[in-house]
Amino acid sequence: MMGAFPHRSLLDIEGLTKGDVERILDTAEAFLQVSRRPVRKVPTLRGKTVINLFYEASTRTRTSFELAGKRLSADVINMNVSASSVKKGETLQDTCRTLQAMHPDVIVMRHGASGAANYVASKIDCSVINAGDGMHAHPTQALLDAFTIRREKGTLEDLTVTIVGDIAHSRVARSNAHLLKLFGCEVRVVGPRTLLPPAVDSLGVKVFDDLARALEGADVVMVLRIQRERLEGALLPSLREYARTFGIGPRTIEYAKQDAIVMHPGPMNRGVEIESVIADGDRSVVLEQVEAGVAVRMALLYLLAGESSEPPTVDEAD
């Protein structure tokens, strides 16, 4: 039997070792099989409570955390922030302390402010999972991306991964860069200069402004959403110009390796950062990423809140 997972919360990738990541991904393999069988439920977290607290919109992350909790038999509460006392001016700290008084085991939180999950975790006693905070981190996205890459490529070691697009506003890019570097990957970023963060070098990535050069030899092409809501209209000349220069389509994907996979965290702007023929084509693993999201989030809930029980083995899960 493995020891207890050595973390109370998951706030970012930087707090994890390579061994922690491998343990999460290995655990997720068993839970993937649970999601694929006719009865998609195990009793692992019976009696535990998970609260989803999303201050920002979400389809994939919120739904997959809800499904993950329910498939583990936890009680899952989805707080509707827009119909809560947040609308009456309640502070983040008061909201979280109020929820903590109801004895949840895990609070899953998405917030528009970078550092919000760390702040909450420092104020309350239960586990906190960062489901995306501002432009800082989206650790569960990076973990599900790693899970998908490992299944598709058979390894996470020493791959060349090119992240394309709006790096400056992307918590997905930041978390992926930190995770992939643990496995010796060459992480490249490419996009318009205006969409690269000022301290991009501190991420330890190779920076390109030419898509063809950035994609040469890439095993994985990770396409990011152009975040229209955060761009403030000033950083891109036009979406059409962006699509022509940095969009991933049948012409530009040819720069990558023949067997390169194409990823996108969603939601996609079809016709802007990715063409439909690629998003829906053979190389795309976009829906595999979504499936992986449930398995990885089951693994995290289990590791953070289900310390006293063993996960199902892959054989048992079948």
**Residue 296 CB, nearest approach to ligand CP (Å):** 12
Q: Which of residues 188-247 bind ligand CP (CB under 6 A)?
A: none
Q: Which contiguous run of DSSP H or E holds residue 222?
A: strand 220-223
Q: How far is the CB of 141 from ligand CP (least distance, A)?
A: 5
Query: Please, which of residues 122-141 interact with ligand CP by CB under 6 A?
Result: 132, 141
- The set of residues, in sequence order, having a beta carbon less than 8 Å from that of 47 and lying 6+ positions away, is none
Nearer to ligand CP, 104 or 265 (CB): 265
Tell which residue, 172, 112, 102, has the closest CA to residue 137.
172
Among 27, 35, 61, 148, binds ligand CP (CB under 6 A): 61
Sheet holding 75-79, edge to edge: 75-79, 49-54, 106-111, 127-133
- Is residue 111 exposed (0-12), middle (13-18) or buried (19+ Cβ within 10 Å)? buried
Letter string b/e over residues 55-70, b meaning 16 or more CB atoms within 10 A of that residue's CB? bbebebbbebbbbbbb
- Binding residue for ligand CP, selected from 134, 165, 265, 306, defined by CB under 6 A: 265
Closer by beta carbon to ligand CP, 65 or else 208: 65
Measured CA angle at 145 (ends 21, 267), to 5 deg? 145
Please, what is the minimum distance in Å from the beta carbon of residue 228 to ligand CP? 14
**Nearer to ligand CP among residue 42 and residue 220 (C-beta):** 220
Distance CA 318, CA 312 (A): 9
Q: Does 284 bind ligand CP (CB under 6 A)?
A: no
- The reply to whether 44 sits near ligand CP by the rule CB under 6 A is no
Figure out which of the listed residues 37, 46, 59, 194 binds ligand CP, where binding follows CB under 6 A: 59
Number of Cβ atoms within 10 Å of the Cβ of 292: 25
Which range, of 19-27, 57-65, 91-99, 234-242, touches ligand CP by CB under 6 A? 57-65
Interface stretch with ligand CP, choices 88-96, 115-123, 260-268, 279-287 (CB under 6 A): 260-268
When asked if residue 60 is in the footprint of ligand CP (CB under 6 A), the reply is yes
| Candidate ranges 6-14, 26-34, 59-67, 240-248; the one touching ligand CP (CB under 6 A) | 59-67
Minimum gap (Å) between residue 185 Cβ and ligand CP: 20
Q: Which two tokens stand for residue 299?
A: 């693994």
Angle in degrees, CA 51, 12, 64, rounded to 5:
40
Q: How far apart are CA 109 and CA 10, in angstroms?
A: 11
Residues that bind ligand CP (CB under 6 A): 58-61, 132, 141, 265-267
